[in-house]
Amino acid sequence: MKRRIMLIAVLVVFTVGILAPYGFCDIPKTLNFQGRLTDQDGNPLNGNHPVTFSIYDASTGGNKLWTETQTVNVSDGIYNCRLGSSTPLNIAFDNPYYLEVTISGQTLTPRQPISASPYALNAERFAGLLPDEFLRPNESGNVGIGIAAPTSKLDVDGKVRGKAVYSHDRSSGTKSTTSRSSVWVSGLATTINVQKNDIIVVMLGANLRNSGTGTTYIQARQRSGVGATSIIAPNWVVVTGRRWAGGSSIGIYRAKADGAITFQAIYHASSGTGYNVYSNIIAYVIGKQ
């Protein structure tokens, strides 16, 4: 009987391996495939039929990269099989590929482009590297990057590069205040763009003095923007008396939303006049919580 072969679907199903506490699980390199087989009158066929599957790097011609022959069981015209069950799918899936199907000696045309899903098989690699070539957790819970036996929570062998998100400002000239309650220091503020749950470190380096025996206080706080929750409240830089002295104020925050936040220095004096000169404020995004 002459057969007419019709594909009704190409379904790709895969399971991505997860990073276990002490190693990587293997990613199954198989693809589920479903098709339909009918005779020339459109009647669904039944029984066992030999099918050859091949993967090429072009829609016509090109190079055959993989092939496998299976005997599929057809029930009411429908058959299912798992590609790669006998011949491993050792293909990078980093370029366009096409599937050719031959059933009982009849080759279907055109070849079917393989959907994006199986390309997730390439997720087993990172920039072309296998997991044990770039990320190696061990039994102690230590993680190594480029190192086989990490001895710290994070152990890196090689250069580390990153792009910091930060903003910076420096005050010009001497600022003074006689206020006994905190007031903003003009010209000593910085604005940083953040995303929700970003962790921000704000640092203020200050030089202070007082006109008499009083104490001058300064710190950096958030003034405006999308807002941030204080994880570690900033400390005060405190200088008593006429001598110039320096110190650092550091605070850690978590951003409440996407947008911009402005941090500004705030100061006051217990008595007399408090002075601040050539101070620096800087805000860094160091991670996300």
Number of domains composing the chain: 3
Same domain, residue pair 144 and 173: no
Do 177 and 85 share a domain, yes or no?
no
**Tokens found for residue 241:** 């008396």
Shared domain for 143 and 224, answered yes or no, is: no
- DSSP letters, 59-128, are SSSS-EEEEEEEEEEEBTTEEEEEETSSS-------S--EEEEEETTEEPSSPEEPPSGGGGGGGGSBTT
Through-space distance between the first and last CA atoms of the chain, rounded to whole angstroms: 66
- Is 50 exceeded by the pLDDT of residue 37? yes
SS3 132: helix
Q: Is there a single domain that holds both residue 201 and residue 93?
A: no
Q: Do 255 and 175 lie in a common domain? A: yes
Residues 119 and 188 placed together within one structural domain of the fold? no
* Domain of residue 70, residue span: 3-124
Average pLDDT of the chain is 78
* Residue whose C-alpha is closest to residue 124's, from 137, 115, 133: 133
Each residue's pLDDT tens digit, 177-220 = 999 999 998 888 889 888 898 889 898 888 899 999 999 999 99
Q: How many CA atoms lie within 13 A of 180 on its CB side?
A: 4
Residues 154, 170 share a domain: no
Asked if the model's pLDDT at residue 66 lies above 70, the reply is yes
| Residues 224 and 247 occupy one common structural domain | yes
Q: Which of 144, 159, 174 delimits the end of a domain?
A: 159
Judgement on whether residues 106 and 78 belong to the same structural domain of the protein: yes
DSSP label of 174: E
Longest CA pairwise span in the chain (Å):
109
What proportion of the chain, given as a percentage, has pLDDT over 90?
29
Is residue 136 within a helix (H) or strand (E), and if so which, with residue range?
strand 136-137
Residue 92 has pLDDT above 90, yes or no: no
pLDDT of 230 > 80? The answer is yes
The yes-or-no verdict on residue 171 having pLDDT over 70 is no
In this structure, are residues 263 and 221 in contact, taking their beta carbons and an 8 Å threshold? yes
**Are residues 225 and 259 in contact, defined by beta-carbon separation less than 8 angstroms?**
yes
* Tokens coding 138: 């061990």
Residue with more model confidence, 155 or 85: 85
Beta bridge partners of 267: 183, 218
Contact 188, 281 (CB under 8 A): yes
Residues 193 and 245 in one domain: yes
- What is the pLDDT confidence band of residue 91, given thresholds at 50, 70 and 90? confident
Which of 206, 202, 220, 213 has its CA nearest to residue 175?
206
Taking the complete model, does pTM exceed 0.75, yes or no? no
